[in-house]
């Protein structure tokens, strides 16, 4: 390979410390756990179950009423 000449020459210190800058790299963070169901969805499901339970109770009460007459 042909060597490319640059305008700047490399200078290494004879004394002291040599430091090198790191290139910014992508850092992976911890995955965020998301709930499978949102709080709102859970509330809606609970309300729906309560409504269905109330309907069942009313149906049972309605069925028992004519039998007792």
pLDDT tens column, 22-52: 777 888 888 888 888 889 999 999 999 999 9
Say what the pTM is: 0.43
N- to C-terminal Cα distance for the chain? 106
- 66 vs 25, 34, 59, 62, CA distance in Å? 77, 51, 12, 7
Q: What is the pLDDT of residue 62?
A: 87
Q: What is the pLDDT of residue 57?
A: 93
Kindly state the DSSP code that residue 16 receives in the 8-state scheme.
Answer: S
């Amino acid at each position: 390979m042909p060597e490319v000449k640059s305008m700047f020459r490399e200078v290494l210190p004879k004394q002291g410390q040599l430091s090198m800058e790191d290139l910014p790299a992508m850092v992976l963070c911890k995955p965020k756990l998301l709930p499978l169901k949102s709080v709102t969805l859970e509330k809606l499901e609970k309300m729906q179950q309560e409504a269905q339970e109330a309907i069942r109770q009313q149906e049972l009460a309605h069925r028992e009423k004519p039998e007792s007459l």
